[in-house]
Structure 1
């Protein structure tokens, strides 16, 4: 039974009602008095989802798998004389970085968590730097001779397969494809980072939303 008290003060009548904890209205008042913090987070995450993070993440996952698979194939085939991309391990560490970035982007489509969006921004910053380094490695490999065919002395004999132009063309073709992949990964990471930064920056405005 609720207790009611009536107080007159300055021509104003104040009615105070004490609701017991067992009253169903107590639960309704408690739920309505909670701070709307999840709504703020949801507003920010919706801003990030305009970039279609699931599609961006799928691109990173696909290209990451391609990098890792080619890394295994080229490492086995060039075991004795590895090329610059194989020796640097760029196909592996960039591939795994893309898999992590892609998984986070896909997960951010499912979860309403601004911390996950911030993590995606940090990882994609690393991906941007990694793709720039990878592009430099692949372009350097294009300008260099085939591994095992370098001449250190004037009269050093080369292997017969070093004079086959198709071998160098195949190597340059693979490196060119990876440069294109790096450009695609770079653009994807920049898009994710731009939308993520804008979503995080909206925090100062969403505090006023009730």
Structure 2
């Protein structure tokens, strides 16, 4: 049974009831006294509509592919590297994608508008880098195999230069990287668009 006491003070009657720990009402009072769950700010909530975790996973996955193929192609073309390999685009674009993907995934977990702004800045770099990488791969497709260029008349070319399958294989790889660059470009544009929109929004306080 709950103990009840009545106290009169200055024309005000105060009723105090002591509830035992076994009373079902005690659990309700304990749950209502807990602090409310932290709410996500209005700006970050707008950015999360872009599913940054999914976009970040795409960047991380393609970044790992770039770096892995960069190592393989660098080792196989150490004598006469192609234009994308010589420029190192596979490595610095891959690292930039890993950084962008990690920040996008982290922004799904944290309510931090500064993190959203950082994602926007990094994704601007990704957009510019994918455009440069697309240009390099496109130029590599139109050029001869590295080491087989004719620089002077009557120049002897290696026997493997006349193998059309080598050029087809190289062009196929460059075409795949162009498709990856297009995917990375679209992902970065989506993240930048939602991030810019979230930054521009006013952070209304929930009443």
Bin of the TM-score, shorter chain as denominator length: 0.7 to 0.9
Native 8 Å contact 2:42 2:204 kept in 1? no
Structure 1 residue aligned with 2:59:
60
Cα distance in structure 2, aligned partners of 1:113 and 1:200 = 11
Report the alpha carbon displacement of residue 42 of structure 1 after superposing the two structures with TM.
1.2
Structure 1 residue aligned with 2:47:
48
Structure 2 residue aligned with 1:109:
108
Report the alpha carbon displacement of residue 208 of structure 1 after superposing the two structures with TM.
6.4
Cα distance in structure 2, aligned partners of 1:162 and 1:90 = 24
Map 1:24-103 → 2, pairs under 5 A? 42-103=41-102
Structure 1 residue aligned with 2:193:
194
Cα distance in structure 2, aligned partners of 1:94 and 1:61 = 11
1:175 aligns with 2:165: no
Q: 1:151 aligns to what SS in structure 2?
A: coil
Report the alpha carbon displacement of residue 209 of structure 1 after superposing the two structures with TM.
5.2
Structure 1 residue aligned with 2:4:
none
Q: 1:150 aligns to what SS in structure 2?
A: coil
User: Considering only aligned residues, what root-mean-square deviation do their CA atoms show, in Å?
Assistant: 1.4
Native 8 Å contact 2:60 2:101 kept in 1? yes
Structure 2: 5+ residue stretches without partners: 1-34
Report the alpha carbon displacement of residue 154 of structure 1 after superposing the two structures with TM.
1.1
Structure 1 residue aligned with 2:155:
156
Structure 1: 5+ residue stretches without partners: 1-30, 32-37
Cα distance in structure 2, aligned partners of 1:171 and 1:208 = 56
Q: 2:165 aligns to what SS in structure 1?
A: helix
Equivalent pairs counted in the alignment come to 171
Structure 1 residue aligned with 2:164:
165
Using structure 2 for the length normalisation, give the TM-score.
0.80
Report the alpha carbon displacement of residue 43 of structure 1 after superposing the two structures with TM.
1.0
